[in-house]
């Protein structure tokens, strides 16, 4: 699917709007669910939910082998309906197999999980019940791969939105009725609700004729399974880096500072997910389809960067204008000491957006070894920068570390993008990146003058972005 410049920019902006809106609603719904859980189940219930949710995240990420990210290019590159039907069939077979393996591993490991999480085996049956969630998650992932691969943005967004809504509708009443006994049933109900929502919007394709044999299913799926293995290893490296740093911070400082650090990370991730969700869901399959054309890659990557910059610029300025207020609303006034940390992390958001737009070329090309190299190097830089800047600048240093981390990551990705793959970006994209960085620097500086000054910068940045976006989509 090829676009002229104006049409491509409209397509990107539409995706940003759709997935940004869905993410916003999902965050609100998540907040409501957590609020009900906190009021009705108390701290014990919140603790139990956290333990079981973390176990679910760990088991799904480990047993699914990142198949969603790995298999999307295979769907996107399907040149004929027959090929699409065949690869979809192969993917769903693998989803069933990985789901059954994941459920089996969960059941086998349930006594150990209970012992590790609670110090006894009293919760073994609870973890056995989670096996159903692991299985459903794998099947749901298979459907999502196909929806995302064919770039059916509307169905993908609707499935996520209604999954979050129906999941909340079925789980919240259980908190009222069953109290603490609702933990596992509510998690199961939420998983069923989200799976049914995805099933309703899934792309229903006819079975290929003839159907792939078991041997053909194995051989045709090895490509994305191999890439998925590399991606899973990369995710593990990232999680390990985060775990090691938090462990170091807890020993070098205190659990209170760990809480402040996590609060800052949560705010950054929630605030920027509006942008990065669209990059992951819509841009990735589109890029996979045209990855063999250097000209098309240059056009698509440059357009994605441009749209991201024009949306991020006012978002950052608005955040900086109301930094303390946002922190207080999401947490409390006790957390405003991370204010400077958040300010100096904002330039890192720009660097993250640019590097992400280029980094997806590695996945679109199926370069698993290159991907694990970039992510492992990123993890090492993450630990080193956060330890270094914290030692010298304390809490404020986390902001410097975030920016330095993504500056280094951009250099790492830039090596593969520009040197290894010989891709390029347009001069307009370079100018817009520099302008966004300059405006962000002015906005950060203005916070030390007055809030009114930062609001003026935000208004100017917003006006410029609106005018520029209107021009870009013509």
CB 350 within 8 A of CB 440: yes
Supply the pLDDT for residue 2.
Answer: 52
Q: What pLDDT is stored for residue 299 in this prediction? A: 92
Q: How far is CA 216 from the centre of its chain?
A: 32
What pLDDT, on a 0 to 100 scale, did the predictor assign at position 3? Answer: 56
* pLDDT tens for the chain, residues 1 to 474: 555 555 777 777 777 777 777 777 877 887 787 778 777 877 677 777 777 887 888 788 888 888 887 888 888 888 788 888 888 899 999 999 999 999 999 999 999 888 877 778 888 999 999 999 999 999 999 998 888 888 787 888 888 889 888 888 888 888 888 888 888 999 999 999 999 998 888 888 777 878 888 888 888 888 888 888 888 888 888 878 887 888 888 888 877 888 788 888 878 877 677 777 777 777 888 888 899 999 999 999 999 999 889 989 999 999 999 998 988 887 778 788 889 999 999 999 999 999 999 999 998 898 989 999 999 999 999 999 999 999 999 999 999 999 999 999 999 999 999 999 999 999 999 999 999 999 999 999 999 999 999 999 999 999 999 998 888 776
Whose tokens are 């970006």? That residue is 425
User: Is the bond into 129 cis (omega within 30 degrees of 0)?
Assistant: no
* Residue of 86, 6, 7, 12 whose CA lies nearest to 309: 12
Distance CA 322, CA 343 (A): 11
Note the pLDDT of residue 77: 82
Helix/strand/coil (H/E/C) assignment for every residue in the chain: CCCCHHHHHHHHHHHHHHHHHHHHHHHHHHHHHHHHHHHHHHHHHHHHHHHHHHHHHHHHHHHCCCHHHHHHHHHHCCCCHHHHHHHHHHHHHHHHHHHHHHHHHHHHHHHHHHHHHHCCCCCHHHHHHHHHHHHHHHHHHHHHHHHHHCCCHHHHHHHHHHHHHHHHHHHHHHHHHHHHHHHHHHHHHHHHHHHHHHHHHCCCCCCCCCCCCHHHHHHHHHHHHHHHHHHHHHHHHHHHHHHHHHHHHHHHCCHHHHHHHHHHHHHHHHHHHHHHHHHHHHHHHHHHHCCCCHHHHHHHHHHHHHHHHHHHHHHHHHHHHCHHHHHHHHCCHHHHHHHHHHHHHHHHHHHHHHHHHHHHHHHHCCCHHHHHHHHHHHHHHHHHHHHHHHHHHHHHHHHHHHHHHHHHHHHHHHHHHHHHCCCCCCHHHHHHHHHHHHHHHHHHHHCCCCHHHHHHHHHHHHHHHHHHHHHHCC
CB atoms within 10 A of CB 457: 24
Residue 474 has a pLDDT of 67
- Tokens 């610029």 appear where? 313
What pTM does this model have? 0.82
Q: For residue 63, what are the contacts with CB-CB under 8 A and spacing of at least 6?
A: 98, 101, 102, 105, 134, 138
Distances (CA, A) of 343 to 134, 336, 447, 463: 39, 11, 9, 22
User: 200: which residues sit within 8 A by CB, 6+ positions away?
Assistant: 159, 162
Burial grade of 473 (CB within 10 A; 0-12, 13-18, 19 or more): middle
Query: Is-contact 354 410, C-beta < 8 A?
Result: yes
Separation in Å, CA 348 to CA 143, 301, 311, 440, 474: 34, 19, 15, 10, 30
Distant-in-sequence, close-in-space partners of 324: CB < 8 Å, separation ≥ 6: 336, 339
The total of other beta-carbon atoms located within 10 Å of residue 226's CB is: 15
- Predicted local confidence at residue 365, as pLDDT: 92
Burial grade of 35 (CB within 10 A; 0-12, 13-18, 19 or more):
exposed
Q: What CA–CA distance (Å, rounded) separates 387 from 231?
A: 26
Query: What confidence score (pLDDT) does residue 7 get?
Result: 72
Residue 448 half-sphere exposure toward CB, CA atoms < 13 A: 7
Q: Are 144 and 201 in contact (CB under 8 A)?
A: no
Q: Is the four-CA dihedral 273, 196, 153, 71 of positive or negative sign?
A: positive
CA proximity to 413, closest of 352, 347, 350: 352
The pLDDT score that the predictor gives to residue 373 is: 94
- The reported pLDDT for the residue numbered 452 is 95
């Amino acid at each position: 699917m090829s676009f002229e410049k104006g049409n491509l920019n409209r397509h990107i902006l539409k995706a940003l709007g759709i997935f940004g809106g869905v993410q916003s609603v999902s965050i609100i719904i998540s907040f409501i669910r957590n609020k009900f859980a906190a009021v009705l189940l108390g701290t014990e219930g919140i603790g139990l939910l956290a333990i079981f949710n973390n176990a679910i995240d760990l088991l799904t990420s480990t047993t699914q082998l990142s198949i969603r990210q790995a298999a999307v290019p295979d769907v996107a590159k399907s040149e004929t309906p027959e090929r699409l039907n065949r690869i979809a069939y192969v993917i769903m077979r693998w989803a069933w197999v990985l789901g059954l393996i994941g459920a089996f591993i969960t059941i086998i490991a349930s006594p150990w999980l209970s012992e590790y999480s609670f110090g006894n085996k009293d919760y073994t049956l609870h973890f056995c019940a989670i096996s159903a969630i692991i299985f459903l998650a794998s099947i749901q992932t298979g459907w999502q791969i196909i929806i995302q691969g064919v770039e059916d943005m509307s169905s993908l967004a609707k499935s996520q939105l209604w999954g979050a809504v129906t999941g909340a509708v079925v789980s919240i009443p259980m908190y009222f009725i069953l109290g603490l006994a609702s933990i596992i049933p509510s998690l199961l109900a939420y998983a069923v609700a989200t799976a049914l929502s995805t099933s309703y919007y899934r792309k229903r394709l006819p079975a290929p004729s003839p159907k792939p044999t078991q041997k053909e299913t194995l051989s045709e799926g090895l490509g994305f399974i191999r890439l998925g293995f590399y991606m899973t290893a990369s995710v593990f490296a990232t999680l390990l880096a985060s775990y090691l740093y938090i462990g170091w911070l807890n020993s070098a400082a205190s659990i209170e500072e760990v809480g402040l650090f996590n609060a800052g990370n949560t705010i950054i991730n929630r605030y920027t997910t509006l942008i990065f969700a669209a990059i992951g869901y819509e841009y990735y399959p589109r890029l996979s389809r045209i990855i063999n054309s250097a000209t098309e890659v240059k056009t698509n990557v440059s357009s994605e960067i441009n749209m991201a910059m024009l949306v991020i610029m006012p978002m950052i300025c608005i955040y900086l204008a109301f930094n303390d207020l946002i922190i207080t609303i999401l947490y409390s006034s006790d957390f405003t000491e991370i204010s400077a940390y958040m300010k100096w992390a904002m330039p890192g958001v720009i660097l993250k957006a640019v590097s992400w737009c280029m980094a997806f070329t590695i996945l679109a090309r199926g370069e698993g070894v290159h991907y694990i190299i970039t992510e492992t190097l990123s993890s090492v830089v993450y630990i080193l920068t956060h330890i270094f800047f914290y030692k010298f600048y304390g809490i404020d240093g986390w902001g410097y570390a975030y920016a330095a981390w993504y500056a280094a990551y951009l250099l790492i990705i830039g090596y593969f993008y520009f040197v290894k793959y010989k891709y390029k970006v347009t001069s307009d994209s370079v100018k817009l990146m520099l302008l966004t960085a300059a405006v962000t620097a002015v906005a950060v500086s203005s916070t030390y003058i007055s809030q009114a000054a930062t609001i003026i910068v935000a208004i100017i940045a917003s006006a410029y972005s609106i005018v520029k976006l209107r021009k870009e989509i013509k």
